[in-house]
Amino acid sequence: MTDAFYFFDSYAIVEMIKGNENYSKYINTIFFITKLNLFEVYHSVLKDFGKEYAAYFMETYYPFAVDYDKEVISEAARFKLENRKMNYSMADCIGYVISMRSGIKFLTGDKGFMDLENVEFVR
């Protein structure tokens, strides 16, 4: 277990749910997500594991969802535009901006974020 705080992107959460050993050290960390991440992961869990597990996921992760203001939306949109060749998702752009503003690591397996500041990249 690590003492660090993280912002989990949707990919990281899905990999933990699927049992990816590379993410095992993050299971008991303090983390944050947004409701957009909840949507993305809920959809994936619903598709792969069914309604019961999806409901369990929602109840477990919903308390960790943070809100964001119009400044985060504006900054994330600028980040997405400036990096349009990377094809980042809207949820990832918002999550990355929140992590930067909060001073917490952005945990992801998305190769497009691998070399960015404040990112912890895990395969």
- How does the average pLDDT of the chain come out, rounded? 94
Residue positions counted in the chain: 123
pLDDT for 7-50, tens place per residue? 999 999 999 999 999 999 999 899 999 999 999 999 999 999 99
The pLDDT assigned to 1 comes to 41
User: Token match 């060749």: residue?
Assistant: 85
pTM of the predicted protein model? 0.91
Beta-ladder partners of 30: 5
Number of domains composing the chain: 1
Q: How many CB atoms are closer than 10 A to CB 57?
A: 19
Confidence band of 4 (pLDDT split at 50, 70, 90): confident
Question: What domain range is 78 assigned to?
Answer: 5-121
We report the CATH number of the domain holding residue 29 as: 3.40.50.1010
